[in-house]
Amino acid sequence: MLKIEGLVTYYGRVRALAGVSLQVARDEIVTLIGSNGAGKSTTLMTISGVLKPTEGSIAFEGRPIAGLAPHEVARLGVVQVPEGRHILRGLTVAENLDLGGFVRSAEKRRTSLARVYELLPRLAERRDQLGGTLSGGEQQMLAIGRALMAQPRLLILDEPSLGLAPRIIEQIFELIRNLNKAGTTILLVEQNAAMALEIADRGYVLETGYIVAEGSAAMLRQNDSVRRAYLGL
Ligand SMILES: Nc1ncnc2c1ncn2[C@@H]1O[C@H](COP(=O)(O)OP(=O)(O)O)[C@@H](O)[C@H]1O
Ligand SMILES: [Mg+2]
């Protein structure tokens, strides 16, 4: 579904990605793990069109997407939940959700909204509440709901568990698993490598702009350097 080859991305003169290659097959959950500053967010933002690569290719369902604008990438069905959520605190839950659907027709937005409220009843209860008044967990749910409004075929999540309590993290992972079961392919970036490797089919390990390991989640969980560096074992 997604095929990335030799991706190189710079911030000015700083090279953040030094040739990243990875693939995601339809219906998979694939996780990208790595320490702070490894280039995980840069990889995701390059896929979603926020950053332009200087080298390499990105194909979604066989179609080259590197260089497309973010809204064009989203319209094709590649939708990202950014690190830090970035919900609009001064808008209501319903208004935040509506923004996520802007790449779709009014009719599709209505069906998506009904589905998001069904999946996330908490958001339905709070639809008229301002985004800024939600708890951290609810804000993450809202950020995911907003992405779902764009009807993703590939949903990309950047550190969804960041800063949340263990009980809420469980709920977020449960939601990701359910979305995947219902037919959404997932690319997940997580600091919590143990949990990510629990729900993922496959994973990649990124270090300073390079992929240094890849394989099935089961294999990565057994890998000595992964265990030492990311699982604290
Ligand atoms: N806006 C930016 N300007 C300059 N350098 C950046 C910027 N964002 C990230 N970087 C650098 O790019 C590298 C990769 O960062 P990032 O992709 O955010 O890592 P991760 O998400 O894995 O923590 C780091 O060295 C970081 O300092
Ligand atoms: Mg990051």
Model pLDDT for residues 7-41, shown as the tens digit of each residue: 999 999 999 999 999 999 999 999 999 999 999 99
Give yes or no for residue 17 CB within 6 A of ligand 1: no
Mean pLDDT taken over the chain: 96
Rg for the chain, CA atoms, rounded? 17
- Contact present, 187 and 157 (Cβ < 8 Å): yes
Spatial neighbors of 95 by CB under 8 A, at least 6 apart, are 88
Give yes or no for residue 105 CB within 6 A of ligand 1: no
Distance 111 CA to ligand 2 centre (A): 32
pTM metric for this prediction: 0.96
pLDDT of residue 152: 97
Give yes or no for residue 133 having a pLDDT over 90: yes
Distance 57 CA to ligand 2 centre (A): 21
* E strand spans, 72-209: 78-81, 154-158, 185-189, 202-207
Angstrom CA distances, 217 to 44, 55, 114, stand at: 20, 28, 34
Per-residue b or e along 77-115, where b marks 16 or more CB atoms closer than 10 Å to that residue's CB:
bbbbbbbebebeeeebbeebbbebbebbeeeebeebbee
Distance 45 CA to ligand 2 centre (A): 10
What tens digit of pLDDT does each residue of 170-226 get?
999 999 999 999 999 999 999 899 999 999 999 999 999 999 999 999 999 999 999
DSSP helix/strand/coil, 197: helix
Angstrom CA distances, 170 to 93, 127, 167, 194, 196, stand at: 22, 23, 5, 12, 11
Percent of the chain surpassing pLDDT 70: 100
CATH architecture under which domain 2-90+152-230 falls: 3-Layer(aba) Sandwich (3.40)
With CA atoms as reference, report the closest residue to 86 among 38, 142, 166. 142
How many other CB atoms are there within 10 angstroms of residue 1's CB atom?
19
C-alpha 97/C-alpha 142 separation (Å) is 7
Give yes or no for residue 63 having a pLDDT over 90: yes
pLDDT of residue 191: 86
For residue 4, list its beta bridge partners: 22, 58
